[in-house]
Structure 1
Amino acid sequence: MLSSEGFDFWAGDYDDFILNSTGYPFDGYYDLLGYVQNIVEINPDTLVLDIGIGTGALTYEIYKKDVQIHGLDFSPKMIELAQEKMPNGEFFLFDFQNGLPSEVGCYKYDYIVSSYAIHHIEDPLKINFIVQMKGNLKESGVIVIADVSFRTQEDHDQCKIMSGDHWDNDEYYMVADTIVPQLEAEGLDVEYIQKSSCGGILIIK
């Protein structure tokens, strides 16, 4: 996994890199982002937290509709680029592998969203983190996670074989058949949608 310094170095080229990428790990990237953006219902009071906001690719389109955006990332350069796009947003420099920062604790969000970020934490921590996020939702709030993910372990393993040396062994991709029952056991209402060969959407209420 890249350090915060590594993401700082990558930040300036990140958007162009993804735009010109094909196949794993970014197959269907913009379709996934568009799906998340369309889930968010726009009204003057909507408050959205973006976990691992990066350059703001996911929430910028939502921000342009006058939605209040909070962003969390551990890369100062990524936050700088996101803030250039969203000057009225509020941003928190924090590594979400350690959960959520105390500054976020006083807010209740309509939506907590994340794209291509949560794969940086191992599965048991994912479960704990999602349960923690649920505590920061309004009663009708929704968590929407878009990431490299697979419906079955077989799909995961096949992608790994096909990707060869491009496969990143330092990342932990969601497998719906495994993570969905674990989240349901925590009392959460969960839906999983596979959107591309290696990309899916996890919706939690």
Structure 2
Amino acid sequence: MRPMDSKGFDSWAGNYDTSVREHSKGYPFEGYFDVLNRVCELVGDCRGKTILDLGVGTGLLSLELFRQGAMVVGVDFSPRMLDVARSRMPGGRFVCADLGEGLPNELKDILFDAIVSGYALHHLEEDRKNELMREAFRRLAPGGVLVVADISFETVKDWQDCRLRSGNEWDDGEHYTVAGEAIPKLAGVGITVSYEQISSCAGVLVAQEQSCNPRNRCKSTNSG
């Protein structure tokens, strides 16, 4: 299946929320809201923090962070999706840009207390996805955390099993992360990368400084 472009997501914007709720059993959206809730738990206390949402879509992920007092900056390549997110989070900042080209230039001088992404990065090829996550990590303020929630798997076997179960529903045009392969590529000096499987086809990947554990809700200072 050919991946959708921005116009495809524009067309989907009006019923995206309903669509993911109606397809919450099995691949690809099983456990969708459990996964998003886990991201919020890992971010922790976000009052007064500036949080970047990569592939913000209609804002389903960052809306809860916004409600808790975060300043949300959202990036997406779909103007219609951004319109929905903007209406839900007045006062937020939204940038229309293709993440396949990296972080938008207007955000490159900002440090973020947390950077999150929900069900967006699987549209990028694996090398480009890893490069974007490394770039995002460099934009974290001290003590910040990067949390990527997506269709993903712990092992290649888990990926293969899901593909077999999904049959004709499986989308070969997407690039789903296998944690066992991605973590060694992302890990570096001073960086801890971990992965947690939430449903049969989705989980969260967390990158942080080795001295900071998101489960302890480390506080950071935004210098953007």
Distance in 1, Cα, partners of 2:166 & 2:66: 35
Aligned to 2:197: 194
Q: What RMSD, in angstroms, separates the aligned Cα atoms of the two structures?
A: 1.1
Does the alignment pair 1:53 with 2:56?
A: yes
> TM-score of the superposition, structure 2-length normalised?
0.89
Offset, 1:182: 1.0
Q: Is the 8 A contact 1:131 1:186 kept in 2?
A: no
Offset, 1:134: 1.0
Aligned to 1:98: 101
Aligned to 1:65: 68
Q: Could you say if the C-alpha distance between residues 192 and 171 of structure 1 is closer, same or farther in structure 2, counting changes exceeding 3 Å?
A: same
Offset, 1:127: 1.5
Once the two structures are superposed, the pairs formed by residues 39-188 of structure 1 within 5 Å of their partners are 39-185=42-188, 188=191
1:10 partner amino acid: W
Q: Is the 8 A contact 2:58 2:85 kept in 1?
A: yes
Distance in 2, Cα, partners of 1:9 & 1:103: 27
Q: Could you say if the C-alpha distance between residues 126 and 188 of structure 1 is closer, same or farther in structure 2, counting changes exceeding 3 Å?
A: farther
Offset, 1:174: 0.3
Q: Is the 8 A contact 2:59 2:85 kept in 1?
A: yes
Determine helix, strand or coil for the equivalent of 1:36.
helix
Distance in 1, Cα, partners of 2:171 & 2:145: 29
Q: Is the 8 A contact 1:112 1:133 kept in 2?
A: yes
Offset, 1:42: 2.6
Offset, 1:124: 1.1
Aligned to 2:4: 2
Offset, 1:187: 5.4
Distance in 2, Cα, partners of 1:65 & 1:40: 11
Determine helix, strand or coil for the equivalent of 2:183.
helix
Once the two structures are superposed, the pairs formed by residues 24-39 of structure 1 within 5 Å of their partners are 24-39=27-42
Distance in 2, Cα, partners of 1:20 & 1:160: 20
Equivalenced residue count is 205
1:125 partner amino acid: R
Moved more, 179-188 or 89-98: 179-188
Aligned to 1:20: 22
Offset, 1:39: 1.8
Moved more, 136-145 or 35-44: 35-44
1:29 partner amino acid: Y
> TM-score of the superposition, structure 1-length normalised?
0.97
Unaligned runs of 5+ in 1: none
Offset, 1:45: 2.8
